[in-house]
A = this chain, B = another copy of it.
Amino acid sequence: MSQAESYRRFSDTQAHPWVAVDVVIYTLDQSRLECLLVQVKEGSFAGKWAFPGGLVGAQESLDQAAERELYERTGVKNAYLEQLYTFGKPERDPATRAVSVSYLALVPYQEVKLNPASKYAAIGWFPANRLPRLAYDHDQVGRLALKRMRSKLQYANIVYSLLPSEFTLGELQEVYETILHRSLDRRNFRKKILALGLLKRLRKKRRGTHRPAALYAFIKRRPMIMEML
């Protein structure tokens, strides 16, 4: 595909697009699934909201560019981050030919410190299933991201990246119920989740308004493929 020779030979008729990454960042705030948007400042989409993103640096891999963008907007490192899809229709950005590699990220709400950056007019969380009309082809990106996240939560352990380090089984179940939007049987849920052996029960308890609940933590906080539900 790619030796320098053929680049030279074809470069007149072939495109040489800009390459950007866009990151769809989800979090849970009080069991509401939210998604981070930035407001575009300039160009024909000025005023519209979009997923944060930016050009890939000359010495950067795509993953690094996505990590950097995630870090710059939220201050979060080591969250779950996965390449989603690459969008490249010539007309997706009317201003220029741009290919966008989209990423999906899951972050724990508590750890986020939003950072607007001068290139955007604003930044903020929006309910994930009620996003406004977005700039570029980002409506499509958002639909795909939501679909992927919903399905992936069921066969990978990536919830760990949405939760703080300690949580109750009730909270964990609430996460699944929110994202899959259906309710789950408590006894079956606990049986299944505990049988996976992913959690350790801590000594502590969460004391709330009522009976205290045992706190749990993930034994390993890295992505693994497995049947969750």
Chain A residues near B (Cβ < 8 Å): 1-7, 10-11, 13-22, 40-46, 50-62, 83, 85-90, 93, 95-101, 119, 136
Contact = CB atoms under 8 A, between A and B. Distances in A.
Given A19-B99, A86-B86, A3 B58 contact: no
A136 B1 contact: yes
The CB with the most chain B CB atoms within 10 A, among A6, A13, A20, A54, is that of: A6
A216 B90 CA distance: 41
A50 B101 contact: no
B58 A98 contact: no
Given A18-B16, A19-B99, A3 B45 contact: yes
A147 to B, nearest CB: 11
Contacts of A101: 86, 88, 99
A4 B13 CA distance: 22
Contact of A15 (B2, B53, B56, B119): B56
B14 A53 contact: no
A14 B88 contact: no
A190 to B, nearest CB: 26
A191 to B, nearest CB: 23
B83 A7 contact: no
B100 A88 contact: no
A53 B143 CA distance: 29
Contacts of A50: 1
A97 B58 contact: yes
A7 B2 CA distance: 25
Contacts of A17: 19, 56
A14 B56 contact: yes
Given A2-B18, A56-B88, A99-B101, 12 more contacts: A1-B52, A1-B55, A2-B136, A3-B42, A4-B95, A5-B42, A6-B55, A15-B57, A56-B99, A61-B88, A83-B85, A88-B101
